[in-house]
């Protein structure tokens, strides 16, 4: 029984040491240019529906939904479709002004 306990402890310790020395790019706590660029790229992709909806009628609602629900993949796609289907502010105002001039 003592042998199994010692073997388990040795294997666990070796696993912990190996995990600390692995060379994966985002395991260390250093702030590098690659990490900053990856974070900026991730934020840009996350807010694509908001960027598309910046001239739409429901911009604030799309932004709030994107902010709160886009961390799920389905929420991101719902906000993207909503941003693409929403009516533009500029088109509605032009139609309304043309109706007044006539």
**pTM listed for this prediction:** 0.59
Whether the CB-CB separation of 65 and 100 falls below 8 Å is answered with no
Low-confidence ranges of the chain (pLDDT < 50): 102
User: Which tokens sit at 39?
Assistant: 């974070």
C-alpha span between 59 and 79 (Å, rounded): 11
What is the number of other CB atoms lying within 10 angstroms of the CB of residue 92? 11
What is the per-residue pLDDT across 16-31, written as a single tens digit (0 to 9) for each?
A: 555 555 555 666 778 8
């Amino acid at each position: 029984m003592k042998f199994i306990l010692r073997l388990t402890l040795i294997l666990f310790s070796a696993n912990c040491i190996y995990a600390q020395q692995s060379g994966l790019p985002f395991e260390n706590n250093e702030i590098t240019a690659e990490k900053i660029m990856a974070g900026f790229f991730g934020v840009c992709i996350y807010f694509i529906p908001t960027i598309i909806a910046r001239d739409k009628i429901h911009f604030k609602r799309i932004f709030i939904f994107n902010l709160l629900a886009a961390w799920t993949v389905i929420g991101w796609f719902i906000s993207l479709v909503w941003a693409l289907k929403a009516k533009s502010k500029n088109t509605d105002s032009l139609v309304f002004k043309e109706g007044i001039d006539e």
